[in-house]
């Protein structure tokens, strides 16, 4: 039996292509399970998982919780407003308190980049990064690539453009790493102010003209403009942003091919994507959400099987 090369999922940067393929194969199995009348399996019956959310989340938290429950794990939840948490000291204290209740795995979202890596050096439990600041969001990238594979057969050889607020997006960085490991060609597109300097060093190309990027791609992943992470103004007005970088039906229909449209959610309808596009047959946004549960079941299952093996 294959196993993951890591004991934690801290970022796509730290895993191999083989790990990703193993997660996908395992998710295929769990996808079949969650479409059965009885959606639950006993795989994690002896495992206790703590979901620690130091930053707001709706769909990621629900998706992890559902994945854990479908695997029959015992689950405890902790949420804290980001403002009440200081980097370092309180994080270790909080987590150690929770671990003393015999928790095996921690799923953590935290506003500080590197919070998961930091924690993994100080505690015994297996850690899954559910988003660390603007750094990584590995399960989102896995479910995005899995959804592309499901829709187009394979990720290798596909042209994928990530559009919008690349600068503040952990989804963008994790997607870049995952797509490249799986053999896709990646472009980023958005206003210059929202594209990190030197991003080309990651092997992606930059395009500031949305129509050119759309003509090139097989898949467009439309990111949310993350106003809550912006301390200055990065573009003149939302209306201008939408005109230049928003996706609408007219832009899609002017292409001579049908591209796949993705969005990690939550959507700002009418800003980065219009409702008629978000709700169209070209968009796989709800498939992404559905696949998120199977992917998270796969990640938790594969990491948990390493815990048991290490102890034996």
Q: Is the Cβ–Cβ distance between 245 and 272 less than 8 Å?
A: yes
CB of 168 to ligand NCD, least distance (A): 9
Residue tagged active-site, from 59, 61, 69, 306: 59
Residue tagged active-site, from 70, 109, 158, 181: 109
Please give the structure tokens belonging to residue 290: 């559905």
Sheet holding 126-132, edge to edge: 74-79, 48-53, 105-110, 126-132
Look up 242 and say whether it is catalytic: no
Name the nearest CA neighbour of 241 among 227, 228, 252: 227
Q: Is 224 in the site for ligand NCD (CB under 6 A)?
A: yes
CB of 177 to ligand NCD, least distance (A): 15
C-alpha neighbours within 13 Å on the C-beta side of residue 253: 6
Kindly give, in sequence order, each residue whose CB lies less than 8 Å from that of residue 224, ignoring residues fewer than 6 positions away.
164, 165, 263, 264, 265, 266, 267, 268, 271, 272
Q: Which of 111, 131, 133, 190 binds ligand NCD (CB under 6 A)?
A: 131
Name the nearest CA neighbour of 149 among 252, 257, 21: 21
Q: Which is nearer to ligand NCD, 8 or 131 (CB)?
A: 131
Q: Is 168 in the site for ligand NCD (CB under 6 A)?
A: no
Q: Which of 8, 158, 170, 296 binds ligand NCD (CB under 6 A)?
A: 170
46-65 binders of ligand NCD (CB under 6 A): 59-60
Q: Is 137 in the site for ligand NCD (CB under 6 A)?
A: yes
Q: Is the Cβ–Cβ distance between 200 and 223 less than 8 Å?
A: no
Residue 54 CA to residue 33 CA, distance in Å, equals: 31
Characterize the bridge pairing of strands 48-53 and 74-79: parallel
Q: Is 264 in the site for ligand NCD (CB under 6 A)?
A: yes
Helices first, then strands: H and E counts in the chain: 11, 9
Look up 109 and say whether it is catalytic: yes
Look up 198 and say whether it is catalytic: no
CB of 309 to ligand NCD, least distance (A): 30
Q: Is 265 in the site for ligand NCD (CB under 6 A)?
A: yes
CB of 13 to ligand NCD, least distance (A): 16
Please give the structure tokens belonging to residue 250: 């007219």
CB of 208 to ligand NCD, least distance (A): 21
Residue 37 CA to residue 298 CA, distance in Å, equals: 19
63-122 binders of ligand NCD (CB under 6 A): none
Q: Is the Cβ–Cβ distance between 101 and 108 less than 8 Å?
A: no
Q: Which residue is nearest to ligand NCD (CB)?
A: 224
Residue 240 CA to residue 246 CA, distance in Å, equals: 9
Q: Is 140 in the site for ligand NCD (CB under 6 A)?
A: yes
Q: Which is nearer to ligand NCD, 123 or 265 (CB)?
A: 265
- Looking at the annotation, which residues are catalytic? 59-60, 87, 109, 137
Contact residues: ligand NCD, CB under 6 A: 59-60, 131, 137, 140, 170-171, 224, 226, 264-265
């Amino acid at each position: 039996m294959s196993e993951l090369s890591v004991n934690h999922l801290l970022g796509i940067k730290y895993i191999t292509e083989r790990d990703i393929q193993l997660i996908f194969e395992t998710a295929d199995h769990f996808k079949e399970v969650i479409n059965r009348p009885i959606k639950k399996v006993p795989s994690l019956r002896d495992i206790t998982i703590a979901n620690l959310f130091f930053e707001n989340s709706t769909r990621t938290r629900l998706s992890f919780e559902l994945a854990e429950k479908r695997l029959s794990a015992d689950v405890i939840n902790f949420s804290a407003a980001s403002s009440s948490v200081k980097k370092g000291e309180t994080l270790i204290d909080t987590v150690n308190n929770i671990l003393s209740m015999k928790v095996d795995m921690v799923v953590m979202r935290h506003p500080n980049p590197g919070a998961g890596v930091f924690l993994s050096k100080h505690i015994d439990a297996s850690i899954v990064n559910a988003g660390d600041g603007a750094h990584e969001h590995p399960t989102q990238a896995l479910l995005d690539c899995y959804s592309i594979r499901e829709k187009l057969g394979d990720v290798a050889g596909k042209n994928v453009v990530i559009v919008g607020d690349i600068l503040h997006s952990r989804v963008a960085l994790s997607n870049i790493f995952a797509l490249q490991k799986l053999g896709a060609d990646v472009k980023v597109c958005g206003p210059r102010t929202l594209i990190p300097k030197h991003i080309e060093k990651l092997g992606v190309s930059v395009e500031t003209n949305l129509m050119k990027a759309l003509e090139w791609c097989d898949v467009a992943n439309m990111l949310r403009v993350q106003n809550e992470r912006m301390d200055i103004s990065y573009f003149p007005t939302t209306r201008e942003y939408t005109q230049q970088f928003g996706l609408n039906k007219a832009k899609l229909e002017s292409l001579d091919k049908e591209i796949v449209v993705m969005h990690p959610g939550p959507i700002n309808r009418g800003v980065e994507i219009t409702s008629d596009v978000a709700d169209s047959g070209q968009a796989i946004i709800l498939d992404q959400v559905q696949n998120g549960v199977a992917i998270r079941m796969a990640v938790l299952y594969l990491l948990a099987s390493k815990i048991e093996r290490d102890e034996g």
